Amino acid sequence: MSAGRRRRRVEEEEHVNHERWLVSYSDMITVLMALFIVLFAISQVDQEKYIALSKSLAAGFGDGEVTVSTSTLDGSDGVLDGLRPQDLEARGEGTAGLVEADRGLGQQGKDPAPVASVDPQVLAAAQAEAAHLEEVRAALRAALLAQGLDSVVQMRIDERGLVLGLVADDVFFAPASAELTVTARQVLDVAAPTLVSLAEQVTIEGHANVLPVGGRYPTNWELSADRATQVLRHLVERDAMPPGRVSAVGYGDARPIAPGMDEASLAVNRRVDLVLLSDAPENVRALLPAVVAP
């Protein structure tokens, strides 16, 4: 009898709960619901509070009242939504956006910044900096003119400072060569006293045309960098330019000032630019092309 009862207990099967997955499923649903609630909450922007905060921050920093475009807060597609065409014109951008202009002698710059709505103090600082650079240009021009070298150097003032472009057909560098010609050495020796007497940094930018090079230069990058380095070495080793004030960079054929494959374009793109870097603030330097004398 006892053996029969044991046999029945062994044969009894344990009840299996097939609904245990509901616990994990309900936990996952709860987490997802909490996630979507949080995402919905942080996506709602109180525009009035946002504008009030912007005004208080602007007043605290002394910038006066600011205008916040509500179209951006409403989820517009672009950062310019909500601006009228006349607003773009007032910012100097126009309805077609910014237009890049090739200024020649190296780095391409933007159109001169409008000065009508500029802070008077910033404008006065830009005019003073432009006058200083004009004095330097006049001194360099007079020194070169005295030696009959003024026609082989082109100078201009842009947002970086004063640019001296050593641009002439075979006057400064022969094709595929970084060796300074006699004329190039004379120009550097004449310009060096004025440059050395100043406090600004000077950067020397080497350029090459698009013709492939051979020999010791694998590419135009090495050629342009060597041209800039040779000018730097001459200024430092022969003309007493402080080494801490001068640097050299090579741009290869990436920044031509004359497109095309004709002889004139190839010659003018084979050049070195000496840039006397203005130490004025960026907002002042941006106005230099607009306030400088033509």
> How is residue 215 annotated by DSSP?
T
- Cα–Cα distance between 186 and 168 in angstroms, integer? 14
Domain boundaries, the chain: 1-82, 109-291
Tell me the three state secondary structure of residue 229: helix
Q: Indicate whether 74 pLDDT > 60.
A: no
> What is residue 14's predicted lDDT score, i.e. its pLDDT?
57
Q: Please indicate whether residue 54 or residue 78 has the higher confidence score (pLDDT).
A: 54
State the pLDDT confidence band at 22, using cuts at 50, 70 and 90. confident
Q: Indicate whether 53 pLDDT > 80.
A: no
Q: Indicate whether 72 pLDDT > 90.
A: no
CATH for 109-291, options being 3.10.20.30, 3.30.1330.60, 3.40.30.10, 1.20.1730.10: 3.30.1330.60
Pairing state between β 202-206 and 246-250: parallel
Q: List the single range of 25-39, 48-62, 87-101, 181-195 with lowest mean pLDDT.
A: 87-101
CB atoms within 10 A of CB 118: 18
* Overall pTM > 0.75: no
Q: Indicate whether 82 pLDDT > 70.
A: no
- Cα–Cα distance between 41 and 203 in angstroms, integer? 53
Residue 198: name the closest of 126, 257, 263, 275 by CA: 275
Pairing state between β 109-110 and 202-206: unpaired
145-179: per-residue pLDDT in tens? 999 998 889 899 999 999 999 876 678 888 788 88
Residue 213: name the closest of 201, 223, 203 by CA: 223
